[in-house]
Chain A
Protein backbone atom coordinates (compact mmCIF):
# COMPACT_ATOMS: atom_id res chain seq x y z
CA UNK A 1 0.00 0.00 0.00
CA UNK A 2 1.33 3.39 -0.95
CA UNK A 3 0.96 4.95 2.46
CA UNK A 4 2.89 2.14 4.08
CA UNK A 5 5.91 3.12 1.97
CA UNK A 6 5.97 6.46 3.74
CA UNK A 7 5.76 4.91 7.17
CA UNK A 8 8.51 2.38 6.42
CA UNK A 9 10.75 5.06 4.92
CA UNK A 10 10.34 7.39 7.84
CA UNK A 11 11.07 4.70 10.40
CA UNK A 12 14.17 3.67 8.48
CA UNK A 13 15.59 7.15 7.93
CA UNK A 14 15.02 8.33 11.47
CA UNK A 15 16.57 5.12 12.72
CA UNK A 16 19.84 6.10 11.03
CA UNK A 17 19.99 9.01 13.42
CA UNK A 18 20.80 11.33 10.54
CA UNK A 19 17.41 12.49 9.42
CA UNK A 20 14.29 14.02 10.76
CA UNK A 21 11.46 13.33 8.39
CA UNK A 22 9.16 16.27 8.73
CA UNK A 23 6.68 15.70 5.98
CA UNK A 24 5.68 13.49 3.10
CA UNK A 25 3.81 14.42 -0.02
CA UNK A 26 1.90 12.35 -2.50
CA UNK A 27 2.24 13.76 -5.98
CA UNK A 28 -0.15 12.03 -8.41
CA UNK A 29 0.89 12.13 -12.04
CA UNK A 30 -1.04 14.25 -14.54
CA UNK A 31 -3.44 12.85 -17.11
CA UNK A 32 -0.83 13.64 -19.73
CA UNK A 33 1.15 10.60 -18.64
CA UNK A 34 -1.29 8.50 -20.70
CA UNK A 35 -0.91 5.32 -18.74
CA UNK A 36 -3.45 2.61 -19.54
CA UNK A 37 -6.33 2.71 -17.11
CA UNK A 38 -5.38 6.13 -15.73
CA UNK A 39 -8.58 7.90 -14.72
CA UNK A 40 -9.00 11.65 -14.38
CA UNK A 41 -6.54 13.48 -12.17
CA UNK A 42 -9.36 15.21 -10.31
CA UNK A 43 -10.57 11.88 -8.97
CA UNK A 44 -7.11 10.60 -8.18
CA UNK A 45 -6.29 13.79 -6.31
CA UNK A 46 -9.45 13.62 -4.27
CA UNK A 47 -8.84 9.98 -3.35
CA UNK A 48 -5.28 10.78 -2.28
CA UNK A 49 -6.56 13.67 -0.23
CA UNK A 50 -9.09 11.42 1.49
CA UNK A 51 -6.42 8.79 2.11
CA UNK A 52 -4.13 11.28 3.82
CA UNK A 53 -6.82 12.94 5.90
CA UNK A 54 -5.86 10.95 8.94
CA UNK A 55 -2.15 11.42 8.65
CA UNK A 56 -0.41 14.13 10.58
CA UNK A 57 2.55 14.30 8.24
CA UNK A 58 1.59 13.04 4.80
CA UNK A 59 -0.14 15.49 2.50
CA UNK A 60 -1.20 15.91 -1.09
CA UNK A 61 0.86 17.74 -3.74
CA UNK A 62 -1.32 18.72 -6.65
CA UNK A 63 1.16 20.76 -8.69
CA UNK A 64 2.28 17.91 -10.93
CA UNK A 65 -1.20 16.82 -11.91
CA UNK A 66 -2.24 20.35 -12.70
CA UNK A 67 0.41 20.86 -15.37
CA UNK A 68 -0.98 20.71 -18.92
CA UNK A 69 1.55 18.17 -20.14
CA UNK A 70 3.30 15.30 -18.49
CA UNK A 71 6.14 16.56 -16.28
CA UNK A 72 9.40 14.70 -15.78
CA UNK A 73 9.84 13.46 -12.25
CA UNK A 74 13.02 15.45 -11.78
CA UNK A 75 11.10 18.65 -12.47
CA UNK A 76 8.56 17.74 -9.84
CA UNK A 77 11.34 17.22 -7.34
CA UNK A 78 12.92 20.55 -8.29
CA UNK A 79 9.58 22.29 -7.86
CA UNK A 80 8.99 20.91 -4.40
CA UNK A 81 12.55 21.55 -3.36
CA UNK A 82 12.25 25.20 -4.41
CA UNK A 83 9.01 25.51 -2.51
CA UNK A 84 10.73 24.08 0.51
CA UNK A 85 13.65 26.48 0.26
CA UNK A 86 11.22 29.40 0.03
CA UNK A 87 9.42 28.15 3.08
CA UNK A 88 12.70 27.80 4.87
CA UNK A 89 13.58 31.38 4.23
CA UNK A 90 10.49 32.26 6.15
CA UNK A 91 11.34 30.27 9.19
CA UNK A 92 14.34 29.36 11.24
CA UNK A 93 13.99 25.62 11.29
CA UNK A 94 16.00 23.55 8.87
CA UNK A 95 13.88 21.09 6.97
CA UNK A 96 14.72 18.59 4.36
CA UNK A 97 12.25 17.33 1.86
CA UNK A 98 11.96 14.00 0.23
CA UNK A 99 10.01 13.81 -2.95
CA UNK A 100 8.91 10.59 -4.47
CA UNK A 101 7.64 9.73 -7.87
CA UNK A 102 4.22 9.87 -6.38
CA UNK A 103 5.19 11.03 -2.93
CA UNK A 104 7.75 13.01 -1.10
CA UNK A 105 9.09 13.14 2.37
CA UNK A 106 10.68 16.12 4.02
CA UNK A 107 13.67 15.45 6.15
CA UNK A 108 15.75 17.62 8.36
CA UNK A 109 19.35 16.77 7.95
CA UNK A 110 21.37 16.83 11.12
CA UNK A 111 25.05 17.43 10.71
CA UNK A 112 27.19 14.43 11.26
CA UNK A 113 30.90 14.25 10.73
CA UNK A 114 30.54 10.81 9.22
CA UNK A 115 28.27 11.86 6.43
CA UNK A 116 28.77 14.07 3.45
CA UNK A 117 27.34 17.37 4.47
CA UNK A 118 24.39 18.63 2.52
CA UNK A 119 23.20 21.93 3.81
CA UNK A 120 19.61 22.84 4.00
CA UNK A 121 16.51 20.83 3.56
CA UNK A 122 16.57 17.73 1.41
CA UNK A 123 14.06 16.24 -0.95
CA UNK A 124 14.24 12.56 -1.79
CA UNK A 125 12.25 10.40 -4.11
CA UNK A 126 10.33 7.61 -2.38
CA UNK A 127 9.49 4.61 -4.49
CA UNK A 128 9.16 0.86 -4.72
CA UNK A 129 11.73 -1.39 -6.29
CA UNK A 130 9.73 -1.47 -9.51
CA UNK A 131 10.45 2.21 -10.07
CA UNK A 132 14.15 1.74 -9.37
CA UNK A 133 14.24 -1.03 -11.93
CA UNK A 134 12.28 1.06 -14.39
CA UNK A 135 15.41 3.20 -14.70
CA UNK A 136 16.62 0.44 -16.99
CA UNK A 137 13.65 0.59 -19.38
CA UNK A 138 14.79 2.20 -22.64
CA UNK A 139 13.38 5.65 -23.31
CA UNK A 140 11.46 5.80 -20.11
CA UNK A 141 13.88 8.05 -18.26
CA UNK A 142 16.46 10.54 -19.45
CA UNK A 143 19.89 9.55 -18.19
CA UNK A 144 20.56 13.11 -17.05
CA UNK A 145 17.39 13.05 -15.00
CA UNK A 146 18.37 9.84 -13.25
CA UNK A 147 21.74 11.36 -12.51
CA UNK A 148 20.16 14.42 -11.00
CA UNK A 149 17.55 12.52 -9.00
CA UNK A 150 20.06 10.26 -7.29
CA UNK A 151 23.00 12.64 -7.39
CA UNK A 152 21.51 15.90 -6.30
CA UNK A 153 18.47 14.72 -4.40
CA UNK A 154 18.42 11.07 -3.33
CA UNK A 155 16.26 7.98 -3.43
CA UNK A 156 14.47 5.97 -0.76
CA UNK A 157 13.51 2.64 -2.19
CA UNK A 158 11.28 0.10 -0.46
CA UNK A 159 12.12 -3.42 -1.51
CA UNK A 160 10.90 -6.86 -0.60
CA UNK A 161 11.88 -10.49 -1.01
CA UNK A 162 12.19 -11.27 -4.67
CA UNK A 163 13.80 -7.95 -5.57
CA UNK A 164 17.52 -7.54 -5.75
CA UNK A 165 18.08 -3.81 -5.66
CA UNK A 166 21.75 -4.13 -4.71
CA UNK A 167 22.40 -6.04 -7.88
CA UNK A 168 20.52 -3.51 -9.93
CA UNK A 169 22.50 -0.66 -8.43
CA UNK A 170 25.71 -2.55 -8.93
CA UNK A 171 24.97 -3.01 -12.61
CA UNK A 172 24.29 0.66 -13.23
CA UNK A 173 27.23 3.05 -13.27
CA UNK A 174 25.19 6.12 -12.48
CA UNK A 175 23.35 4.46 -9.60
CA UNK A 176 26.53 2.99 -8.26
CA UNK A 177 28.24 6.39 -8.36
CA UNK A 178 25.53 7.81 -6.14
CA UNK A 179 24.94 4.70 -4.06
CA UNK A 180 25.32 6.64 -0.82
CA UNK A 181 22.29 8.65 -1.78
CA UNK A 182 20.18 5.57 -2.30
CA UNK A 183 18.50 4.32 0.85
CA UNK A 184 17.18 0.79 0.58
CA UNK A 185 14.47 -0.19 3.01
CA UNK A 186 13.54 -3.84 3.10
CA UNK A 187 9.89 -4.59 3.66
CA UNK A 188 10.03 -7.81 5.64
CA UNK A 189 6.30 -8.25 5.72
CA UNK A 190 5.33 -8.50 2.09
CA UNK A 191 2.30 -6.60 1.07
CA UNK A 192 1.23 -7.12 -2.49
CA UNK A 193 -1.63 -4.69 -2.42
CA UNK A 194 -1.18 -2.86 -5.67
CA UNK A 195 -3.40 -0.41 -7.49
CA UNK A 196 -3.67 -2.93 -10.33
CA UNK A 197 -5.12 -5.52 -7.96
CA UNK A 198 -7.49 -2.90 -6.57
CA UNK A 199 -8.82 -2.00 -9.97
CA UNK A 200 -9.25 -5.65 -10.87
CA UNK A 201 -11.24 -6.36 -7.72
CA UNK A 202 -13.37 -3.27 -8.30
CA UNK A 203 -14.12 -4.29 -11.89
CA UNK A 204 -15.30 -7.63 -10.60
CA UNK A 205 -17.49 -6.12 -7.94
CA UNK A 206 -15.31 -7.53 -5.17
CA UNK A 207 -14.70 -5.84 -1.86
CA UNK A 208 -11.61 -3.67 -1.39
CA UNK A 209 -12.48 -2.66 2.13
CA UNK A 210 -9.51 -2.68 4.51
CA UNK A 211 -7.20 -2.46 1.51
CA UNK A 212 -8.08 1.15 0.92
CA UNK A 213 -9.20 3.74 3.44
CA UNK A 214 -12.98 3.69 3.92
CA UNK A 215 -13.34 7.24 2.64
CA UNK A 216 -11.63 6.25 -0.62
CA UNK A 217 -13.80 3.14 -1.00
CA UNK A 218 -16.92 5.27 -0.56
CA UNK A 219 -15.67 7.84 -3.07
CA UNK A 220 -15.02 5.14 -5.66
CA UNK A 221 -18.48 3.68 -5.18
CA UNK A 222 -20.24 7.03 -5.28
CA UNK A 223 -18.48 8.05 -8.49
CA UNK A 224 -18.54 4.62 -10.17
CA UNK A 225 -14.84 4.71 -10.86
CA UNK A 226 -12.85 1.79 -12.23
CA UNK A 227 -14.75 -0.32 -14.68
CA UNK A 228 -13.72 -2.48 -17.61
CA UNK A 229 -14.14 0.65 -19.69
CA UNK A 230 -11.91 2.86 -17.59
CA UNK A 231 -9.24 0.18 -17.67
CA UNK A 232 -9.14 0.51 -21.47
CA UNK A 233 -8.39 4.21 -21.32
CA UNK A 234 -5.16 5.02 -23.16
CA UNK A 235 -4.95 1.41 -24.34
CA UNK A 236 -3.78 2.48 -27.78
CA UNK A 237 -1.74 5.43 -26.68
CA UNK A 238 1.98 5.51 -26.11
CA UNK A 239 3.13 6.44 -22.59
CA UNK A 240 4.17 10.10 -22.52
CA UNK A 241 7.86 9.65 -21.61
CA UNK A 242 8.32 7.01 -24.31
CA UNK A 243 6.63 9.28 -26.82
CA UNK A 244 8.73 12.27 -25.84
CA UNK A 245 12.09 10.54 -25.82
CA UNK A 246 11.44 8.57 -28.97
CA UNK A 247 10.58 11.80 -30.75
CA UNK A 248 13.66 13.47 -29.34
CA UNK A 249 15.95 10.66 -30.39
CA UNK A 250 14.55 10.50 -33.90
CA UNK A 251 14.75 14.23 -34.57
Chain B
Protein backbone atom coordinates (compact mmCIF):
# COMPACT_ATOMS: atom_id res chain seq x y z
CA UNK B 1 0.00 0.00 0.00
CA UNK B 2 1.56 3.26 -1.11
CA UNK B 3 1.58 5.52 1.90
CA UNK B 4 3.72 8.22 0.45
CA UNK B 5 1.74 11.15 -0.75
CA UNK B 6 2.16 12.23 -4.34
CA UNK B 7 3.48 15.78 -4.55
CA UNK B 8 0.90 17.80 -6.41
CA UNK B 9 0.82 21.18 -8.12
CA UNK B 10 -2.48 22.75 -9.08
CA UNK B 11 -2.56 24.92 -12.19
CA UNK B 12 -5.44 27.30 -12.82
CA UNK B 13 -5.75 28.83 -16.26
CA UNK B 14 -8.33 31.44 -17.19
CA UNK B 15 -9.02 35.05 -17.98
CA UNK B 16 -8.97 36.26 -14.40
CA UNK B 17 -10.73 39.32 -15.67
CA UNK B 18 -10.44 40.34 -12.85
CA UNK B 19 -9.25 37.84 -10.28
CA UNK B 20 -11.80 37.42 -7.51
CA UNK B 21 -11.83 35.91 -4.04
CA UNK B 22 -13.81 33.08 -5.57
CA UNK B 23 -10.85 32.19 -7.80
CA UNK B 24 -8.64 32.07 -4.75
CA UNK B 25 -11.23 29.88 -3.03
CA UNK B 26 -10.86 27.29 -5.80
CA UNK B 27 -7.31 26.71 -4.67
CA UNK B 28 -8.19 26.44 -1.01
CA UNK B 29 -11.05 24.03 -1.62
CA UNK B 30 -9.04 21.90 -4.03
CA UNK B 31 -6.12 21.69 -1.65
CA UNK B 32 -8.33 20.64 1.28
CA UNK B 33 -9.97 17.99 -0.90
CA UNK B 34 -6.78 16.53 -2.34
CA UNK B 35 -5.17 16.40 1.10
CA UNK B 36 -8.17 14.61 2.51
CA UNK B 37 -7.86 11.78 -0.04
CA UNK B 38 -4.70 10.86 1.87
CA UNK B 39 -2.87 10.45 -1.42
CA UNK B 40 -1.65 13.90 -2.29
CA UNK B 41 0.48 16.62 -0.82
CA UNK B 42 -0.13 19.93 -2.51
CA UNK B 43 3.19 21.66 -2.99
CA UNK B 44 4.29 25.16 -2.23
CA UNK B 45 7.16 25.49 -4.62
CA UNK B 46 8.45 28.95 -4.14
CA UNK B 47 7.31 30.67 -1.04
CA UNK B 48 5.22 30.28 2.08
CA UNK B 49 2.33 31.78 0.16
CA UNK B 50 1.56 28.71 -1.82
CA UNK B 51 -0.43 30.26 -4.61
CA UNK B 52 1.60 32.23 -7.13
CA UNK B 53 1.05 33.89 -10.47
CA UNK B 54 2.92 32.85 -13.55
CA UNK B 55 3.33 35.11 -16.54
CA UNK B 56 4.56 32.64 -19.13
CA UNK B 57 1.20 31.96 -20.78
CA UNK B 58 0.13 35.60 -20.87
CA UNK B 59 3.43 36.55 -22.47
CA UNK B 60 3.05 34.21 -25.44
CA UNK B 61 2.30 36.08 -28.68
CA UNK B 62 -0.69 33.99 -29.63
CA UNK B 63 -3.29 32.22 -27.49
CA UNK B 64 -1.75 29.07 -26.06
CA UNK B 65 -3.59 25.79 -25.79
CA UNK B 66 -4.15 24.84 -22.18
CA UNK B 67 -2.29 21.58 -22.59
CA UNK B 68 0.78 23.46 -23.88
CA UNK B 69 0.74 25.57 -20.73
CA UNK B 70 0.38 22.43 -18.65
CA UNK B 71 3.35 20.79 -20.37
CA UNK B 72 5.43 23.89 -19.79
CA UNK B 73 4.68 24.03 -16.09
CA UNK B 74 5.08 20.30 -15.63
CA UNK B 75 8.55 20.55 -17.19
CA UNK B 76 9.46 23.32 -14.77
CA UNK B 77 8.10 21.43 -11.78
CA UNK B 78 10.09 18.34 -12.69
CA UNK B 79 13.28 20.38 -12.97
CA UNK B 80 12.73 22.07 -9.64
CA UNK B 81 11.77 18.80 -7.99
CA UNK B 82 14.84 17.06 -9.43
CA UNK B 83 16.96 19.88 -8.18
CA UNK B 84 15.66 19.31 -4.65
CA UNK B 85 15.59 15.54 -4.72
CA UNK B 86 18.96 15.44 -6.44
CA UNK B 87 17.87 12.83 -8.91
CA UNK B 88 16.57 12.62 -12.41
CA UNK B 89 12.83 12.11 -12.67
CA UNK B 90 11.30 10.49 -15.70
CA UNK B 91 8.01 12.10 -16.59
CA UNK B 92 5.44 9.47 -15.75
CA UNK B 93 1.79 9.07 -16.44
CA UNK B 94 -0.52 8.91 -13.48
CA UNK B 95 0.60 6.26 -11.07
CA UNK B 96 -0.02 6.27 -7.38
CA UNK B 97 3.17 4.39 -6.70
CA UNK B 98 5.22 7.08 -8.35
CA UNK B 99 6.78 9.57 -5.99
CA UNK B 100 7.31 12.06 -8.79
CA UNK B 101 5.32 15.27 -8.72
CA UNK B 102 2.09 15.62 -10.60
CA UNK B 103 0.39 18.61 -12.16
CA UNK B 104 -3.37 18.86 -12.34
CA UNK B 105 -5.61 21.44 -13.88
CA UNK B 106 -7.76 23.31 -11.41
CA UNK B 107 -11.05 24.58 -12.74
CA UNK B 108 -14.67 25.34 -12.02
CA UNK B 109 -17.29 22.78 -12.97
CA UNK B 110 -18.49 24.93 -15.88
CA UNK B 111 -15.11 24.24 -17.44
CA UNK B 112 -16.00 20.56 -17.83
CA UNK B 113 -18.86 21.55 -20.08
CA UNK B 114 -16.54 23.34 -22.46
CA UNK B 115 -15.07 20.05 -23.66
CA UNK B 116 -18.19 19.43 -25.71
CA UNK B 117 -18.19 22.80 -27.49
CA UNK B 118 -17.32 22.03 -31.13
CA UNK B 119 -14.00 23.40 -32.26
CA UNK B 120 -12.94 24.63 -28.86
CA UNK B 121 -10.67 21.72 -27.90
CA UNK B 122 -8.61 19.34 -29.95
CA UNK B 123 -9.41 15.75 -29.02
CA UNK B 124 -5.78 14.82 -28.41
CA UNK B 125 -5.41 17.77 -26.10
CA UNK B 126 -8.37 16.77 -23.99
CA UNK B 127 -6.96 13.25 -23.71
CA UNK B 128 -3.66 14.63 -22.58
CA UNK B 129 -5.05 17.23 -20.18
CA UNK B 130 -7.40 14.74 -18.52
CA UNK B 131 -5.65 11.44 -19.11
CA UNK B 132 -2.04 12.31 -18.62
CA UNK B 133 -2.37 15.14 -16.13
CA UNK B 134 -5.78 15.18 -14.47
CA UNK B 135 -8.44 17.66 -13.40
CA UNK B 136 -9.60 19.02 -10.09
CA UNK B 137 -12.99 20.57 -10.69
CA UNK B 138 -14.72 22.67 -8.04
CA UNK B 139 -18.45 23.06 -8.38
CA UNK B 140 -20.89 25.51 -6.94
CA UNK B 141 -24.44 26.48 -7.61
CA UNK B 142 -26.60 24.29 -9.76
CA UNK B 143 -23.95 22.55 -11.81
CA UNK B 144 -23.91 18.77 -12.05
CA UNK B 145 -20.35 17.81 -12.75
CA UNK B 146 -20.95 14.13 -12.12
CA UNK B 147 -23.54 14.21 -14.84
CA UNK B 148 -21.20 15.94 -17.26
CA UNK B 149 -18.54 13.32 -16.67
CA UNK B 150 -21.10 10.55 -17.07
CA UNK B 151 -22.37 11.94 -20.36
CA UNK B 152 -18.92 12.09 -21.91
CA UNK B 153 -17.20 8.89 -22.99
CA UNK B 154 -13.81 10.53 -22.85
CA UNK B 155 -14.28 12.00 -19.40
CA UNK B 156 -15.78 8.77 -18.07
CA UNK B 157 -12.77 6.84 -19.29
CA UNK B 158 -10.57 9.05 -17.16
CA UNK B 159 -12.84 9.24 -14.15
CA UNK B 160 -10.06 8.26 -11.79
CA UNK B 161 -8.19 11.33 -12.87
CA UNK B 162 -11.05 13.75 -12.37
CA UNK B 163 -11.49 14.96 -8.84
CA UNK B 164 -14.83 16.63 -8.16
CA UNK B 165 -14.94 19.02 -5.24
CA UNK B 166 -18.16 20.50 -4.04
CA UNK B 167 -18.40 23.99 -2.61
CA UNK B 168 -21.38 23.85 -0.33
CA UNK B 169 -21.59 27.56 0.26
CA UNK B 170 -23.44 29.11 -2.61
CA UNK B 171 -21.35 31.97 -3.89
CA UNK B 172 -22.27 33.49 -7.18
CA UNK B 173 -19.51 36.06 -7.20
CA UNK B 174 -18.02 35.96 -10.67
CA UNK B 175 -15.65 38.14 -12.63
CA UNK B 176 -18.60 39.07 -14.86
CA UNK B 177 -20.56 40.36 -11.89
CA UNK B 178 -17.55 42.20 -10.57
CA UNK B 179 -17.08 43.95 -13.91
CA UNK B 180 -20.77 44.80 -13.95
CA UNK B 181 -20.60 46.35 -10.49
CA UNK B 182 -17.50 48.32 -11.43
CA UNK B 183 -19.17 49.72 -14.55
CA UNK B 184 -22.03 50.92 -12.41
CA UNK B 185 -19.80 52.49 -9.81
CA UNK B 186 -20.86 49.97 -7.17
CA UNK B 187 -18.67 48.59 -4.45
CA UNK B 188 -16.77 45.34 -4.99
CA UNK B 189 -15.06 45.46 -1.67
CA UNK B 190 -14.80 42.03 0.01
CA UNK B 191 -15.39 40.35 -3.37
CA UNK B 192 -11.90 40.90 -4.66
CA UNK B 193 -8.69 41.73 -2.79
CA UNK B 194 -8.28 45.37 -1.71
CA UNK B 195 -5.04 45.73 -3.60
CA UNK B 196 -6.76 44.63 -6.80
CA UNK B 197 -9.54 47.18 -6.26
CA UNK B 198 -6.93 49.88 -5.86
CA UNK B 199 -5.16 48.79 -9.01
CA UNK B 200 -8.40 48.80 -10.98
CA UNK B 201 -9.22 52.32 -9.86
CA UNK B 202 -5.74 53.62 -10.49
CA UNK B 203 -5.75 52.34 -14.03
CA UNK B 204 -9.44 53.00 -14.67
CA UNK B 205 -10.08 49.46 -15.87
CA UNK B 206 -13.50 47.99 -16.63
CA UNK B 207 -15.76 50.45 -18.32
CA UNK B 208 -18.51 50.08 -20.89
CA UNK B 209 -15.84 50.40 -23.54
CA UNK B 210 -13.63 47.69 -22.13
CA UNK B 211 -16.63 45.36 -21.94
CA UNK B 212 -17.19 45.80 -25.67
CA UNK B 213 -13.65 44.81 -26.52
CA UNK B 214 -13.45 41.82 -28.89
CA UNK B 215 -17.16 41.99 -29.47
CA UNK B 216 -17.88 40.31 -32.80
CA UNK B 217 -14.49 38.60 -32.83
CA UNK B 218 -14.36 34.84 -32.64
CA UNK B 219 -12.64 33.29 -29.65
CA UNK B 220 -9.08 32.43 -30.67
CA UNK B 221 -9.25 28.68 -29.92
CA UNK B 222 -12.11 28.38 -32.41
CA UNK B 223 -10.22 30.11 -35.21
CA UNK B 224 -6.94 28.41 -34.45
CA UNK B 225 -8.42 24.90 -34.68
CA UNK B 226 -10.17 25.85 -37.93
CA UNK B 227 -6.92 27.16 -39.41
CA UNK B 228 -5.01 23.99 -38.74
CA UNK B 229 -7.57 21.86 -40.55
| Chain A positions near chain B (C-beta within 8 angstroms) | 1, 3-4, 7-8, 10-11, 54-55, 188-194, 197, 206-211
Contacts and interface: CB of A to CB of B under 8 A. Distances in A.
A37 to B, nearest CB: 17
Interface string B20-38: 0110110011011000000
A189 B190 contact: no
Contacts of A1: 190
* 9 A-B pairs closest in CB distance: A207-B28, A192-B170, A7-B187, A210-B24, A210-B21, A192-B169, A190-B172, A189-B177, A189-B172
B28 A8 contact: no
Contacts of B170: 190-192
Nearest to A192: B170
Interface string B183-194: 000110111001
16 contacts: A3-B190, A4-B189, A4-B191, A7-B189, A11-B186, A11-B187, A189-B174, A191-B171, A191-B172, A193-B171, A206-B32, A209-B28, A210-B21, A210-B24, A210-B28, A211-B169
B173 A191 contact: yes
A11 B187 CA distance: 7
Given A4-B190, A11-B186, A207 B172 contact: no
Contacts, number: 52
Nearest to A51: B190
A7 B187 CA distance: 6
A48 to B, nearest CB: 14
Interface in B187-206: 187, 189-191, 194
A1 B177 CA distance: 16
Contacts of A193: 169, 171
B168 interface: yes
SS of B interface (majority): mixed
Contacts of A192: 169-171
A189 B22 CA distance: 12
Interface of B: 21-22, 24-25, 28-29, 31-32, 168-174, 177, 186-187, 189-191, 194
B186 A197 contact: no
A194 B169 CA distance: 8
Contacts of B172: 189-191
Contacts of A188: 177
A210 B29 CA distance: 11
Contact of A3 (B32, B168, B174, B189): B189
A207 B32 contact: yes
A189 B173 contact: yes
A135 to B, nearest CB: 25
Given A8-B187, A192-B169, A210-B24, 12 more contacts: A7-B190, A54-B194, A190-B170, A191-B171, A191-B172, A191-B173, A192-B170, A197-B168, A197-B169, A208-B28, A209-B28, A211-B169
Contacts of A211: 21, 25, 169
A211 B167 CA distance: 12
A201 B189 CA distance: 23
Contacts of B189: 3-4, 7, 55
Contacts of B24: 209-210
Contacts of A189: 172-174, 177
